[in-house]
Amino acid sequence: MREELLPLFPLAVVLLPGNKLPLHIFEDRYKDMIGQAIENHTEFGVVLAAQGGIASAGCTATAEEVIKRYEDGRFDMLALGRRRFHLRSLDQEIAYLRGEVEYFGDDPGEAPEHLRARALEACSNIESDEQQPFEANDPHLSFRLAQRFNDLMFRQQLLMTTTEEGRLESIIEYAPAYADRLRNAAHMRQLAGKNGHSHKPPKFEDR
């Protein structure tokens, strides 16, 4: 017997377990899909949409809160990442994609304490909207730290890594260069704002 198909939401996003994802739902097909998930308390899959296709692995989500509903049927909501999956096949018989998936988790084993401490230190200089403090003993600390990175390919790599130790090692290696890029980008924006001089460019008036 064929397993129930998972509704899929392709986005330019990589969702990870335990991470929150704000969504603005406006297309009819996704209003229908997410509406059913809300009503039935079921999951839908978030997969990275890139280069004319979708990634082979993603993360399920549940609707945690509907923040605002609009008169035309649109709504804002907050989703929460749940389970990782490999995509085995696609079904396009209805308005939105569905997939036959295989769920996966981590291999047995825990990350050593010194890796957790090094990962926390490596991410300490990267600004984040995350308000809650990180807990070093969180068994999925890497997924929490990943919220500080907007590099989709790196986040997808973390999604597919099946040990906490491996994810923390990747973060430790990647974070310094990422922090440098952020600082360089901020510096370039500052220079651009000055128009190459020591003063800001003139303000243009609407005519």
Query: Domains of the chain by range and CATH?
Result: 6-104 (2.30.130.40), 113-193 (no CATH)
**Quick check: 92 pLDDT over 70?**
yes
pLDDT digits (tens, 9 = 90+) for 2-52: 468 999 999 999 999 999 999 999 999 999 999 999 999 999 999 999 877
User: What pLDDT is attached to residue 183?
Assistant: 81
User: What pLDDT is attached to residue 192?
Assistant: 66
**Quick check: 119 pLDDT over 50?**
yes
Q: Phi/psi of residue 24, each to 5°?
A: -110, 115
User: What pLDDT is attached to residue 193?
Assistant: 61
**Quick check: 197 pLDDT over 90?**
no
Tokens of 98: 């569905």
pLDDT digits (tens, 9 = 90+) for 43-87: 999 999 987 799 999 999 999 999 999 999 999 999 999 999 999
User: What pLDDT is attached to residue 201?
Assistant: 47
- Could you give the CA distance from residue 85 to residue 100 in angstroms, rounded to a whole number? 10
pLDDT digits (tens, 9 = 90+) for 142-189: 999 999 999 999 999 999 999 999 999 999 999 999 998 888 776 577
Q: What is the mean pLDDT of the chain?
A: 89
**Quick check: 203 pLDDT over 50?**
no
